[in-house]
Amino acid sequence: MKERFEKLITAFCAAIELPCPERMIGGTPFSMNQVVCSISCRSHGNDNLLLIHIDFGEVTKEAEAVIFYALLRDNFLDFSLKNCSFGISGLSGHIVYASSYSIDIMTPDSLLAALTTLTWQAKLWRTNHATVQKNSITGALTHRPHFLSATSNGMP
């Protein structure tokens, strides 16, 4: 699995002209579309998983209760269907979205599509979250964007 991961990341970095793939292989965070991301691999039973973490940003103290409630609810409802979840970074306190993919079927193009979709969603969430905080904290529950699959026609 580690060899497959290293080949995938090396090919991905070459495709997007990002030098030093060994840094990404080692787990160093990187910025894509002005969003901090990280990639790692892990075995889970018979599955070899590629894990992608996306920094969605911070939540103000005033909005914590509403936003955290919505994220916990979404984690409960969506995890078994989407193999993803939200969390809070112990280092930054930011909202982090974690998703997993089968490394055995991932290609550099599909990794790029997944990262493009997820970083686009993070930017949309940040924009919406800032608007919600200015106007109405309770609006976060009804205005939070949903995730699109990497193969969706809704790609930006």
Tens-digit pLDDT profile for residues 99-117: 999 999 999 999 999 999 9
Domain that holds residue 84: 2-143
Residue 90: inside a domain: yes
Residue 155: inside a domain: no
CATH number of the domain encompassing residue 28: 3.30.1460.10
Percent of the chain with pLDDT over 70: 76
Residue 63: inside a domain: yes
For 71, residues 6+ apart whose C-beta sits below 8 A from its C-beta are 86, 95
Query: Which tokens belong to 133?
Result: 């905080």
Task: Tell me if 48 sits within 8 A of 8, measured CB to CB.
Answer: no
- Reported pTM: 0.77
pLDDT in tens, 39-86: 999 877 667 899 999 999 988 888 888 888 888 887 776 666 667 788
* Count of the separate structural domains present in the chain: 1
Task: Tell me if 87 sits within 8 A of 62, measured CB to CB.
Answer: no
Residue 152: inside a domain: no
Does the structure show a pLDDT above 70 at 125? Answer: yes
Residue 98: inside a domain: yes
Residue 117: inside a domain: yes
